[in-house]
Structure 1
Amino acid sequence: MRYSANHKLETKEKLLQSSSVSAKKSGFSSVGVDGLMKAIGLSGGAFYNHFSSKDELFASIVERELRQSLERLGADQDRDKLERCLKHYLSMSHVDHPETGCALPVLGAEIARSDVVIRQQAEHWICQLQESWAQVLESDSLAWAILSQCIGALVVARMLVTPELQRRVLKSSYDETSRQIASPRA
């Protein structure tokens, strides 16, 4: 059977998308190459037509996910837009559906244990997001604090079992970040 000229690119994109969802839902290290390929209907051996290693796939996932986070949360922000983004970020929907949200709360520990190349790549995108928020907030340190607080709040909320406690964590974090965003900078 002959494949279209774009078949390899389309398959690689499918693998990247499927693997991103799987990594955000279950963790990247928990699924083997065969499982990742089976999810898109191919054999494990076909994996190496697209990536030289599972680490290379992880690097591509990190780059893709953090670039998308920057696109959603970084560009063209003002304080009101930033606050609306954070309200969505600090939501029960985001707690309940990690596969559709930010990669940092679910993959942060795996990124931290990765080689320096992946960590540098993550650093690049995280710093770009922080810099865009710092411009809006007119404060480098406030941007780091809010970024860290939001990721941490999501991690804590996901660790809890009781939905009411999860909501309290999210609301407390949102209320505090909103207060910080609304405060005029001196």
Structure 2
Amino acid sequence: MRYQDGYKDQKRRELLKAAGAAAKKKGFAATGVDALAEAAGVTSGAVYAHFGSKAGLLDAVIVNEMERSRARWSRNPERSVETWAAEEVARYLSRAHIDHPESGCLMPALAADVARAAAPTRQVFEDQLKQAQREIAERLGEKDKAWQFLSQIVGAMVLARAVVSDDVQDEILAASRDAVTG
């Protein structure tokens, strides 16, 4: 069967988007290839055809999701550093981001999975993280401030998602917003 031009690329993009959302919601290690494929409306064979393995899919998800995050962070380059930081922190450290990990950032959702992955996958993550850090450093004007910014917001989201109480989640988010923008 011959597919229309662009069909395979479109299916790959759909698979990356759906697999990224499913993995961020349930964890990559805890989600089987069949479930990741089903989320995209394809067979598990399509996963292997596009990515070679589940690890290959994780690598592609990391790149795709980090590119999406960097695209969000690079919007409105004319904003002042203070305005940019306040807006990004408010968006990131939000109730919506706690409640809907599938539509949020890869880092707080999958960093633990990546930490347990093989070295090549961790290298893909490191390369993407360093690129994000460089882009944020350009915005903030300093390399160390970019690491501090990323560590604070990602760490706060990990902690906020890990606790049960809405009150404690709100305290973590508020304290972290103050630490980053205060």
Structure 2 length-normalised TM: 0.89
* 1:24–1:99 CA contact under 8 A, matched in 2: yes
Indicate the residue corresponding to 2:170 in structure 1: 167
Structure-1 residue corresponding to 2:32: 32
Q: Over residues 154-186 of structure 1, what are the superposed CA-to-partner deviations in whole Å (9 max), with x where a residue is unaligned?
A: 01100111111111110110011111xxxxxxx
Corresponding position of 1:114: 117
For structure 1, the 5+ residue unaligned runs are 180-186
Q: Distance in 2 between matches of 1:65 and 1:178?
A: 25
Shift of residue 74, structure 1, vs aligned partner: 4.1
RMSD of aligned residue pairs (Cα, Å): 1.7
Paired-residue identity, %: 36
Distance in 1 between the 2:73 and 2:52 partners? 31
2:15 pairs with 1:15: yes
- Tell me the amino acid that sits aligned with residue 72 of structure 1: R
Question: After the TM superposition, which of the residue ranges 26-35 and 131-140 deviates more from structure 2?
Answer: 131-140
Aligned pairs, number: 179
Moved more, 72-81 or 62-71: 72-81
CA drift of 1:138 comes to 3.0
How is 1:26-175 mapped onto 2 (pairs within 5 angstroms)? 26-74=26-74, 76=77, 78-79=80-81, 80-175=83-178
Alpha-carbon distance in 2 for matches of 1:21, 1:45: 19
Is contact 2:19–2:40 with CA below 8 Å preserved after alignment?
no
Q: Which amino acid aligns with 1:71?
A: A
CA contact (8 A) 1:70 1:125 kept: no
Q: CA separation in 2, counterparts of 1:136 and 1:50?
A: 35
Seen in structure 2, the aligned counterparts of structure 1 residues 2 and 93 have a Cα distance that, compared at 3 Å, is same
Tell me how far apart the structure 2 counterparts of residues 136 and 40 of structure 1 sit (CA, whole Å): 35
